[in-house]
Chains A and B, each alone.
Chain A
Amino acid sequence: MTTLDATVEVVRRRARASGVTPSTRWEELDVDSLALAAIVVELEDVLGVELDDDRVRWAGVATVGDLARLFER
Chain B
Amino acid sequence: MRVVFHTSGTTGKPKPIEADWDAMVDSAAGRIQLEPPCVLCCYHPATMAGLQVFAYCVKHDATLVLPPAGAGPDAMVQAGLDSEVTHICCTPSQIRRMLMGGADRIETIRQVTLGGEHTTQATIDCVVEAWPDARITHIYATSELGVIASVSDDCEGIPIEVLFDVWPGSYIDADGELVLWRDNIDAHYRTGDLFDIMNDRCIFRGRKDGVVNVAGVKVSPEAVERAIRERPGVAEVSVRAEHNWLVGHILVAYIVPDDNLDRDALNEWGRTNLPRPAVPVLRWVSQLPLTSAGKAPR
Binding site for B on A (CB under 8 A): 33-34, 36-38, 40-42, 45, 53, 56-57
Contact = CB atoms under 8 A, between A and B. Distances in A.
Interface in B243-274: 243-247, 250, 252
Given A34-B214, A34-B215, A45 B245 contact: no
Interface residues of B, number: 15
A53 B243 CA distance: 10
B218 interface: no
A34 B281 contact: no
B250 A41 contact: yes
Nearest to A51: B245
Nearest to B245: A53
Nearest to B271: A16
A45 B283 contact: yes
Interface of B: 214-215, 242-247, 250, 252, 276-277, 279, 281, 283
Given A41-B281, A42-B281, A33 B250 contact: no
25 contacts: A33-B215, A33-B246, A33-B247, A34-B214, A34-B246, A34-B247, A36-B246, A37-B215, A37-B244, A37-B246, A37-B247, A37-B250, A38-B250, A38-B281, A40-B246, A41-B242, A41-B244, A41-B250, A41-B252, A41-B281, A45-B281, A45-B283, A53-B243, A56-B245, A56-B246
Contacts of B277: 34
Nearest to A39: B281
B267 to A, nearest CB: 9
